[in-house]
Amino acid sequence: MMTRQKQFEKYLADPTHRIYPVVDFDSTTDRLCPLDFTSNNIELNMQILSSTETFGDWVSAKLADSGCRYGIGGYDEHRTIYSRSTHFDTDLEPRRLHLGVDIWGPAGNPVYNFMDAEVHSFKNNDHFGDYGGTIILKYQMDELVVYGLYGHLSLASLDGLSVGKAIAGGTAFAVFGAPAENGNWPPHLHFQLIFDLQGRTGDYPGVCQFSQKATWLYNGADPNLVLQHTFNSTDVNRD
């Protein structure tokens, strides 16, 4: 029997299924800057991370210095940056493994739906370090159901939504939120794909305990497989 991951990959590989860009990007002029939030990045210390404004200035400087429109990265990344918030602490082991891809850019940047979907749920997850404005869309890929979680959105992005509302592929349906409404992060989009929401609405963990990595990754798909229709791998600036 084909696994859900293989079903997902097969669906995306079918050229009759159109996959739309998630953000505006012109591959002839725009560039991407990979951002590393693991312990390997010794430049990003707690003095920077302790202030959302300072952290945001650091991200903005990285994009400006590299001439890039967006920063990107994070899937299956063991990150140190979550130590800035108790939201990711647990009694046994802190949550540090990132389950989505982050696209870093300015507040107000539009977010597009990558294919036809309906609204599953939405919520303002307003703890420090959480998602802030969050929308979960439900995608039907032949027999496979996949949920797309879009986090760190503006609160205005939630206006006018209702469960079951249809959102066509290619439609701009949300924007990056400012820190005051996106969980106190520098503006960015958290994009995550999930097979089973396990009864949750408007929320699903985007960071897990490293010891449970295999379980959490098994219940999701690599968002880069969708984002390759937005960005080409050759666009990433690795200088």
Q: What is the pLDDT of residue 238?
A: 40
> Domain segments of the chain: what residues?
4-232
Q: What is the DSSP letter of 136?
A: E
Buried b / exposed e along 216-233 (16+ C-beta atoms within 10 A): bbebbbbbbbbbeebbee
Closest by CA to 153, choosing from 168, 136, 139, 171, is: 136
Residue 177 gets which letter from DSSP?
A: P
Residues 6+ away with beta carbon under 8 Å from 60: 186
Residue with tokens 């299956």: 76
Q: What is the pLDDT of residue 239?
A: 38
Taking the complete model, does pTM exceed 0.75, yes or no? yes
Q: Are 118 and 109 in contact (CB under 8 A)?
A: no
- Mean pLDDT by runs of 10 across the 239 residues of the chain is 93 96 95 93 90 95 96 92 81 88 98 98 95 98 98 98 98 98 96 98 94 95 95 52
Query: How many Cα atoms occupy the beta-carbon half-sphere of 13 within 13 Å?
Result: 6
Nearest to 123 by CA among 103, 96, 145, 151: 151
Per the CB < 8 A criterion, the answer to whether 22 and 226 are in contact is yes
* Rounded Cα–Cα distance for residues 66 and 36 (Å): 14
| Residue entry with tokens 């590393």 | 36
Tokens of 238: 């690795």
**Fold topology of 4-232:** Glucose Permease (Domain IIA) (2.70.70)
Looking at the DSSP bridge assignments, the partners of residue 32 are 70, 236
Name which of 75, 69, 73, 62 is nearest 25 in CA terms. 69
Contact yes or no for 112/21 (Cβ under 8 A): yes
Note the pLDDT of residue 140. Answer: 98
CA distance 14 to 191: 22
Q: In this structure, what are the phi and psi dihedrals at residue 65, rounded to the nearest 5 degrees?
A: -65, -30
